[in-house]
Structure 1
């Protein structure tokens, strides 16, 4: 299904096609949050608030939609699929592209058409911008995994393997977590598992956080001596801001628990993750971690849905929180390198990231309406005048 909203004085103005992010099933998230709120002893209220904000993942950001309407934009968006939730990148690309034609036939041709995508929707919008530049004027990507689907899968899978290795039942070597390929698919069984293990993980984490934060990963033969940290945590948070650290560690864990089976269904059970050439900085972990091989058909799925090319013919502006525990900021670095090295057209790309005065340096898609509106205004300027604004102050 889709929705189209038109401001009263639109009259052939600009259109925003909004692409939503990854959606967790409320059939599981709602009872899970209820169970977590009733734990004895209770979880910290700040952590419950953070989990409550992270898990629902609505299909449309109503505050953003209404803010865009107030600025005079028409807004259209799709639910992508009626059959479920999850990694709906393929469905999102198809439905969002179709929605442009539906809007034109029902309402009229807009002066400019902007793609705005958050998280998974950022990857959807980027694919449309790269593959169909004649259909769109520009794209604003908010916390998108612009480094590609494979980079995102590698991140959450490595995080899960670390937790599987370090988190054990008290006084034993038995892992708290299920094997990554043995996560129950039936919703009731998954809910029972989550209700059981999430409190155990939260209880056990303080004892292993220094180990978790010290682990780096890199490809064998990589010239980067240290590699990149697995978890997206500011070391200054330890030990005073435990709620942020716990959220940063739980975020990729929950994505694996919720999404692994849905991802495997797309590749007929073949694993999309390959760590045969990965070096883990902890020698014991590196020696003992299970190694997975991704067959060509699974790797090809992620390459097609989607490995960005870096070839831009329309302007793209990105927003990304510095410490994003769901889609790491290093996606931005990877995409810049592609644009620079593979295509060389960096003038089409502007990235808002480290060093700017965001309201929320930690979080995923944590931007105020004013910040997103400011960025969209800069994108409009680039589209209409052919150059980025000369002054780039910090976002308000």
Structure 2
């Protein structure tokens, strides 16, 4: 029997009366209501895949269901995998107060869940509607981080069910380019900071999680030792720029470098082991740098001038270092793994519905530059009219206020209902005014087009 206890969110709930229902891939349970009826009805269940789902319907439901896709949960950091219907309590409470019904799953398992995530989400939606008897007027999808990528996949595959999508802080470059931009930075660290040791920077899915942890330690050790010298500081800054890390350049050049170094350490510590899960889902190495011209690639970096200044101060030849990176770029991908990874984690830009993406201007785990890559893909498919992108001036991965998420939902829903984008979709003052009308949590919408995403291998 599935666990029918949903995560506590500080709200009183009404549990719907009912009985266990078994139907194909579905096992669902509804519990009897207490005599004192509360403001919401919650339904829970478990799919045959093992994905737990939850569906919460407010008593003043507005007719719209929001399908939420959550972010990455490392396979090696616990076993609990509960359903999730919102990015956090505050956002979930606000959306319920606005009358939206919320549904989401925990996916079939932890780790890089893309192989099953779309099916898990759509299956959970089907199960929730079947068990509850709810007949929505509109269904919108939204998600955060890895869940933003899941939402992007839904936007390209589920137009017969979902009417609009809001990917937030999404990995909108897709799984292949995600792997490749992280590989570029690791390659720079290995070749420029620790060339005497052949640090493993790919293949963790084959050699095991322990090798990913060992690589994390080796990469951190290399950047830590390098930070002690001006030469090492310049090269750390180059590696950080390849990671698209947004150092604080409001102060001196040295302060900018130190902020980049701190972010570099944090990023290495998170993404290296995470690549183990991605490679496992791909069935092998889906990343490569053969044929990459690092001088050409780095030419488009928004941090290029600051890195050049550090190299000049250190008496180093940046051109020579970039040539070395190009000469030593010999990592080849397994073609089958690339095909598999793109098959479940790629985005083509071929949209089946309106999409409104949301990103903070500073995000070390999903760099805002991925939005440039996504928009390029969508334009290439001739679907630019279906896409709008909103940006929030804030430092942090998925660091949105409830008001900002709610504003995005309202703008997207209006596009679905009316068939055209409202003025708020392209007006920062109108967006901030809308957010303020929805909640007191604040908003910081800005108009800041992202710079070039560096690791688009199609651009080489």
The TM-score, its normalising length taken from structure 2, stands at: 0.66
Distance 1:209 1:315, change over 3 A: farther
1:146 paired to 2:176: no
> Which position in structure 1 is the counterpart of 2:120?
95
Note if contact 2:115-2:281 (Cα within 8 Å) is conserved in structure 1: no
Point out where structure 1 has 5 or more consecutive residues left out of the alignment.
29-56, 217-227
Contact 1:147 1:308 in 2 (8 A): yes
1:308-346 per-position Cα deviation (integer Å, ceiling 9, x unaligned): 22222311100112232212222211221222222x222
Work out which of the residue numbers 406, 409, 412 in structure 2 matches 1:373: 406
Say whether residues 1:308 and 2:347 are aligned partners: yes
Matches within 5 A, 1:25-36: 25=75, 27=77
Distance (Å, rounded) in 2 between the aligned partners of 1:133 and 1:59 = 22
Out of 45, 54, 58, which is 1:7 matched to?
Answer: 58
CA distance in 1, matches of 2:373, 2:139: 27
1:364 alignment partner, SS class: coil
Q: CA deviation at 1:95?
A: 0.5
Q: Residues 192-217 of structure 1, C-alpha deviation per residue, up to 9 Å, x if partnerless?
A: 8867975775564464343243469x
- Cα distance in 2 for partners of 1:336, 1:234 equals 24
TM-score by length of 1: 0.76
Quick one: which of 229, 232, 246 aligns to 1:233? 246
Paired residues of 1:274 and 1:294 also in contact (CA < 8 A): yes
Aligned to 2:104: 77
Q: Highest CA radius of gyration, 1 or 2?
A: 2
1:22 counterpart residue number? 72
Whole-angstrom CA distance in 1 between matches of 2:341 and 2:418: 36
Secondary structure of 1:141's aligned partner: strand
- Whole-angstrom CA distance in 2 between matches of 1:289 and 1:329: 28
Which whole-Å deviations, capped at 9, do the CAs of 1:340-389 have from their partners, x for residues lacking one? 222x2222110113xxxx351x3221211111111111111111111111
Partner SS, residue 305 of structure 1: helix
Secondary structure of residue in 1 paired with 2:423:
coil
> Using the alignment, how far apart are the partners of 2:115 and 2:85 within structure 1?
19
Structure-2 separation of matches of 1:296 and 1:350: 33
1:384 aligned partner: 417
Compared CA separation, residues 192 and 289, structure 1 to 2 (3 A): closer
Distance across 1 between alignment mates of 2:380 and 2:123: 32
Quick check: 1:131 aligned with 2:157? yes
Secondary structure at 2:345's aligned position in 1? coil
SS state of the match for residue 240, structure 1?
helix
Q: Aligned partners of 1:23, 1:111: CA distance in 2, in Å?
A: 32
Structure-2 separation of matches of 1:6 and 1:244: 45
The 1:24/1:205 distance shift into structure 2, 3 A limit, reads farther
Unaligned ranges ≥5, structure 2:
1-51, 79-83, 296-320, 433-442, 444-460
Counterpart for residue 41 of structure 1 = none
Task: Report the secondary structure of 2:278's partner residue.
Answer: helix
Q: Which has the higher contact order (CA 8 A, sep 6+)?
A: 1
Please say if residues 289 and 330 of structure 2, whose CA atoms lie closer than 8 Å, have aligned partners that are also in contact: yes
Report if aligned partners of 1:143, 1:320 keep a CA contact under 8 Å in 2. yes
1:116 is paired with a residue whose SS is strand
Equivalent residue of 2:254, what SS? coil
Alignment correspondent of 2:428 = 393
Could you tell me how far 1:105 is from its partner in structure 2? 0.6
SS at match of 1:245: helix
**3-state SS of paired residue (1:236):** coil
Instruction: Summarize the Cα distance change of 1:91–1:174 in structure 2 as closer, same or farther, 3 Å threshold.
Output: same
Are the counterparts in 2 of residues 213 and 230 from structure 1 also a CA contact under 8 Å? Answer: no
In 2: Cα distance, 1:230 partner to 1:372 partner: 27
Q: Deviations over 1:68-96 (max 9, x none)?
A: 212211111111124xx321112211110
Q: Return the alpha-carbon distance in structure 1 between the equivalents of residues 216 and 325 of structure 2.
A: 27
Query: What do residues 261-296 of structure 1 show as CA deviations (whole Å, max 9, x unaligned)?
Result: 33333344x311121111123335325535111132
2:294 matched to 1:280?
A: yes
- Give a deviation string over 1:234-278, Cα, whole Å, max 9, x none: 46154336675245323542344322333333344x311121111
Query: How far apart, CA to CA, are the structure 1 residues paired with 2:215 and 2:277?
Result: 17
Q: Does 1:322 align with 2:361?
A: yes
1:199–1:287 distance in 2 versus 1, CA, 3 Å:
closer
Does residue 260 of the first structure (1) align with residue 275 of the second (2)? Answer: yes
Contact 2:165–2:356 (CA<8 Å) still a contact in 1?
yes
Select the residue among 200, 203, 208 that pairs with 1:185.
Answer: 208
Give the SS at the match of 1:134: coil
Q: Deviations over 1:40-75 (max 9, x none)?
A: xxxxxxxxxxxxxxxxx9995333222221221111
Q: Distance in 2 between matches of 1:4 and 1:116?
A: 15
Q: How many residues align?
A: 343
